[in-house]
Copies of this chain bind each other. A is one copy, B any other.
Amino acid sequence: MNSTLSIYNSLSGKTELFKTISPNYVGMYVCGPTVYSNVHLGNCRTFISFDLIYRYLTHLGFKVKYVRNITDVGHLENDEDQGEDRISKKARKESLEPMEVVQKYTVDFHKTLSKFNLLHPSIEPTATGHIIEQIKLIKKIIKAGYAYEINNSVYFDVIKFNKEYEYGKLSGRNIEDLIHNTRKLDGQSDKKNAQDFALWKKAESIHIMKWPSPWGDGFPGWHLECTAMSSKYLGDQFDIHGGGMDLKFPHHECEIAQSESINKKSPVKYWIHANMLTLNSKKMSKSTGNNILPEEIFSGNNKIFNKSFHPEVVKFFMMQAHYRSILDLSEKALKASEKGYNKLITAYNFLNEIKPSNNESSFKFDEWNKKCYSAMNNDFNSPLLIANLFDAVKYINSVKNGLNSISKKTLNKVKVSFKIFVDDILGIYGKNTTDTNINKVDEILNILLKLRKLSRENKDFKTSDEIRNSLKKIGITLEDNSNDTDYKIN
């Protein structure tokens, strides 16, 4: 496959031409959620970013095997090797069995992602579904000399690994600084060095999530599952590994160490990290209350914003920033995106209404189309793609208003391109997400609004008022502007 796609590689810190390990084939692994709470909006941004990447690679003709895992055991509180497994803790709190917690939040995760129109990954493996593979991996790492067993737990020896390999190369951390900055061991830990991380943790007798192993009953460390599952489904070396920026260290650094210690080669060709989402210019945090869940935005049931926003609008807002930029969520920004979103969808619909003329179009399609691809080929630059789409929107509107013309041939080409860029790549379907009836609401409402406009023009205010009042009864509010009527569905 001959592509001019360039990707920013977190490992090299450079934008590199994308060359796959096997021709036409892409193996991509993305770290999925730890299912112990409702999926965060920041996580959604990460998964939306990789959905864009998955969609674009597929559009380019690559056969992509996209693996995104579900962490259903082993993710400890505070990302430390001490403390309790997050899922077990939540299970205790909610008086549920750990696997009931897993089920509850896996269902929430899938539901939320489907509202954003994300495609399902090719495989969605779970950590508990790969305990045997993880035990096998630990045995290999011990055999290679980079892990040690102590009191029924197994730890990865970071100091030893760093003597022969480079620990910290992805996150740009230096082992000496790490040693200097790490809290000293408090005497309760079995680890040789504070930097070492758990591959297998001994389970206390009351612990429910545990499995037998050569080191006694226990459960795997969090970093291990991704190495086990990525290598099982994509091989010891694969093309793309992605995740949120916060996973770069220590999670991804540990994945590299685990893999290199046994395979003596880098597991991943391109590391891609999606940046964080802030809320009203501050870090999102449950404890400070500066936090909002996706469902709270969609329903409007929150104390942060004065109105609700459709999932596609929230997604469009995210697409208007590059995945590597920090993005700030605010009501103002969402409103601006909503306006832009509606403008884009309206113009997209106009494509089926405008009449082509015999005149050659002044719209330079080839140049424009090239610019769209060039945006995406430049490290998946969706904001630039959207800016280009708006150039076309401007032209479409001018044709619609009779100020410009478009030939049939060009119109058809634009239609095809909009289908590719809006539907297939951005994954935006004009609110037509779960049911065709959603679009129908708009369409039927428009007929009703046209009738109302007509009655008002005919001074038949009885009818126009009745329409307004009937709509109000079913929760639809009309807002008359100078030359148009907006509606709001509660």
Q: Which among B65, B103, B435 is the interface contact of A435 at CB below 8 angstroms?
A: B435
Q: Which among B128, B132, B212 is the interface contact of A211 at CB below 8 angstroms?
A: B132
Q: Which residues in B have their C-beta under 8 angstroms from that of A444?
A: 441, 444-445, 448, 471, 474, 476
Q: Which residues in B have their C-beta under 8 angstroms from that of A447?
A: 448, 467, 470-471, 474
Stretch at the interface among A118-126, A275-283, A337-345: A118-126
- 7 contacts across the A-B interface (CB closer than 8 A): A102-B123, A103-B120, A129-B129, A132-B132, A437-B441, A444-B445, A444-B476
A120 adjacent to B107 (CB under 8 Å): yes
Q: Which residues in B have their C-beta under 8 angstroms from that of A123?
A: 97, 99-100, 102-103
| Shortest distance from the beta carbon of A310 to any chain B beta carbon, whole Å | 11
When each residue 408-452 of chain A gets 1 if its CB lies under 8 Å from chain B and 0 otherwise, what string results? 000000000000000000000000001101101101110110110
> Which of chain A's residues 164-185 have a Cβ closer than 8 Å to chain B?
none
Judged by a CB distance under 8 angstroms, whether A110 is at the interface is yes
Please report the C-alpha to C-alpha distance between residue A233 and residue B103 in the assembled complex, in whole angstroms.
13
When each residue 369-395 of chain A gets 1 if its CB lies under 8 Å from chain B and 0 otherwise, what string results? 000000000000000000000000000
Q: Which residues in B have their C-beta under 8 angstroms from that of A65?
A: 97, 100
Please report the C-alpha to C-alpha distance between residue A476 and residue B447 in the assembled complex, in whole angstroms.
12
From A63, which residue of chain B is reached at the shortest CB distance? B95
Please report the C-alpha to C-alpha distance between residue A450 and residue B435 in the assembled complex, in whole angstroms.
25
Q: Which residues in B have their C-beta under 8 angstroms from that of A1?
A: none
Taking residues whose C-beta sits less than 8 angstroms from the other chain, chain A's interface range is 35 or more
Please report the C-alpha to C-alpha distance between residue A212 and residue B132 in the assembled complex, in whole angstroms.
8
Knowing A129-B129, A444-B441, say if A122 contacts B103 (CB, 8 Å). yes
Judged by a CB distance under 8 angstroms, whether A131 is at the interface is yes
Judged by a CB distance under 8 angstroms, whether A326 is at the interface is no
Please report the C-alpha to C-alpha distance between residue A450 and residue B474 in the assembled complex, in whole angstroms.
14
> Which of chain A's residues 242-275 have a Cβ closer than 8 Å to chain B?
none
B129 adjacent to A132 (CB under 8 Å): no
Judged by a CB distance under 8 angstroms, whether A333 is at the interface is no
Please report the C-alpha to C-alpha distance between residue A445 and residue B440 in the assembled complex, in whole angstroms.
10
From A95, which residue of chain B is reached at the shortest CB distance? B63
| Shortest distance from the beta carbon of A42 to any chain B beta carbon, whole Å | 25
> Which of chain A's residues 106-138 have a Cβ closer than 8 Å to chain B?
107, 110, 120-126, 128-129, 131-132, 136
Q: Which residues in B have their C-beta under 8 angstroms from that of A212?
A: 132, 136
Q: Which residues in B have their C-beta under 8 angstroms from that of A60?
A: none
Please report the C-alpha to C-alpha distance between residue A10 and residue B94 in the assembled complex, in whole angstroms.
35
Q: Which residues in B have their C-beta under 8 angstroms from that of A100?
A: 65, 122-123
Q: Which residues in B have their C-beta under 8 angstroms from that of A451?
A: 448, 451, 463, 466-467
Please report the C-alpha to C-alpha distance between residue A121 and residue B476 in the assembled complex, in whole angstroms.
36
Among A120, A434, A441, chain B packs the most CB atoms within 10 A around the CB of: A441
